[in-house]
Amino acid sequence: MDRVILERLGIAAGHPGACARQWISTSGEPLAPFNPATGKTLARVNQATRQDYERVMEEAGEVWKRWRLFPAPKRGEIVREFGDALRHAKDDLGALVTLETGKILAEGRGEVQEMIDIADFAVGLSRQLYGLTMPSERPGHRLYEQWHPLGRVGVITAFNFPVAVWAWNAMLAAVCGDCVVWKPSPRTPLTALAVQHIAHRVLARHGFEGVFSLVAGSVEEIGEPMIGDARLPLISATGSCAMGRRVGEVVGRRLGRTLLELGGNNGVILMDDADPDLALRAIVFGAVGTAGQRCTSIRRLFVQRGVEAAFMERLQRAYAQVRIGDPMAESTLMGPLVGPDAVQEMMNAIETARSQGAELLYGGRRRDDLPGGCFVEPTILRSSPRMPVVRQEVFAPVLHVMTFDTLDEVLDWHNDVPQGLSSSIFTTNLSHAEAFLSARGSDCGIANVNIGTSGAEIGGAFGGEKETGGGRESGSDSWKAYMRRQTVTINSSRDLPLAQGITFELD
């Protein structure tokens, strides 16, 4: 079954890891991505070398000279074709996401649907790259702004959303007139290769091969050269806070731009007036979905004292009903972690929390009865907001539960972490909701009321504050990150008045 899916998506044994105008025969150290649900190798990918990277950059630069002059609505038509191609490949591509990441099949298909949705969004955007016209203080002058393509854009993606995050960047960048050079996660190169095959076929029909390029390779051979390359005016990077610090430092040193999507330590506040049924469903999915490996997964739950006992009893019963197993099975609700190292990091985090005084309420064990060595039980810990471990993101299904008395108290606790991605409050009290959304409320880039912290729609800008990096991807006006703004003044008069009333006369 796995082999059939790979073949239909064009992935052969010993697949090359670089593509620009055409696939490049790479000779780097092979990657052997595996299925975390079984531990079996899916295929081998020959990584790109520094030489391959240089070729990709050169070819992307050449095609950009033509792509930037191609009308934006025409660029949008090509993106629309790519979205249609994704629709035809959705089932196979969604299955490959599941095979490579371990997320359940519904989420694998959902990730491909997210790519399709952002392609549709970008098609409309291609006719809406608006500039402003401002009144000039000088007679006979016109003052306005316009936007131009930025150039070649580097996109570095993480394993947990191996293709959707690329699409958030690439679809918008493409209609803006940029070319995209993609470095996928070494854990999940196969989904990237499959998407590159689809994109390459679409672009080839129009003579624009190389608008989307791919270089799968190591940090040393590809990652570091990318972030230090002044030919890439923008680096969009998704990953850990540590990775983001390195990217920000290197790109900042050359005065380039970064779009960083980093860690999340997302909190949910459950008020005693909340709808408990609604909250329970959202919290379980938010904490357990994708085995807790979303940047928007719920890590911290604050429960008001009046409902703490009853709600925690229901939450533990719900956790006991989470079906763990083969992510390709339609009935499975939680698949494996991405690798044995992720399992060990989760076990270490649980042990650290207990050493700091946390109480284990549910789970906390490996599922050695399941194959592959990457399955775990989702875990609930009763913790304190002052524990150092609560301030750290654990990329696993570990939920810290804390009890609070007042909204003012819990808002302080909620915001007292270095990360600031997503947040939520469950309440039927309008005053509580408005306080959470006010300047004294959530300090995150995403703030929700009566829904969980994950599952953001593509129409709104996605991203967070503080150590989450400050970047924004996907909808709203995020397209501006991929373009350069130009302020223009045109003098149609015979006079030359200066601004601010300055007089400068020659004899």
Q: Among all residues, which ones are annotated catalytic?
A: 261, 295
- Give the whole-angstrom CA distance, residue 226 versus residue 19: 15
DSSP annotation string for 400-456: EEEEES-HHHHHHHHH-SSEESEEEEE-S-HHHHHHHHSTTS--SSEEEESS-S---
Q: Provide the 3-class DSSP secondary structure of residue 61.
A: helix
Strand ranges (DSSP E) for 162-312?
179-183, 212-215, 234-238, 257-261, 266-270, 298-304
Residue type at position 207: G
The answer to whether the CB of 264 falls within 8 A of the CB of 295 is yes
Q: Which helix H or strand E contains 474, and what residues bound it?
A: strand 473-474
Q: Vertex 268, ends 262 and 271: CA angle to 5°?
A: 165
Judge residue 272's burial from the number of C-beta atoms within 10 Å of its C-beta, 0-12 exposed, 13-18 middle, 19 or more buried.
Answer: middle
Q: Which helix H or strand E contains 126, and what residues bound it?
A: none
Strand ranges (DSSP E) for 78-197?
133-134, 141-149, 152-156, 179-183
